[in-house]
A and B are shown apart, each in its own frame.
Chain A
Amino acid sequence: KNQVEQSPQSLIILEGKNCTLQCNYTVSPFSNLRWYKQDTGRGPVSLTIMTFSENTKSNGRYTATLDADTKQSSLHITASQLSDSASYICVVRSNDYKLSFGAGTTVTVRA
């Protein structure tokens, strides 16, 4: 069964600090991995999307990494802002177009 595991489940950081979220997956055959940000009361919004040949991709203060060999990805948030408070969801797509979702990591940024 394809699975996507995210850690930690939640974290609290102070404004201006950095943090890293983890995503481990067992999806096979792998097509691509996406990170989404979901604000409270909103739908998810795409941050990054990477194929197996891409090791890193940035979107502003968000940097995602991918190690297709170990089937691990991380999302690094630099110089966090209050607006970064949200759930971050890791989604892995297999070659047969099926999407597997992680349960998300809830990030709370405090002033």
Chain B
Amino acid sequence: DVVLTQTPSILSATIGQSVSISCRSSQSLLDSDGNTYLYWFLQRPGQSPQRLIYLVSNLGSGVPNRFSGSGSGTDFTLKISGVEAEDLGVYYCMQATHAWTFGGGTKLELK
């Protein structure tokens, strides 16, 4: 199975601060069809996961543009440019190139 390793596991930030979360894969996520099936989700307390980013860097519908995704191969990053209170929760990366697996999560909390 593909293992996704997220760092850090806990991220403390102030409102307005820019932060980044890393997601490293045990195998390349570049598919034979040319796509890289790497996604980012936010799960707020008591809610279901919400997709933020699809195919590495594409913003989901209705997702604020302070969120951005980048990376290739085995190394990926989610960046939040100016954290807002509604961004608090747990972030997960997910790969769908080799079945589906999820990272362990990064909890974003207020400093």
To the question of whether A and B form a pair in one complex, the answer is no
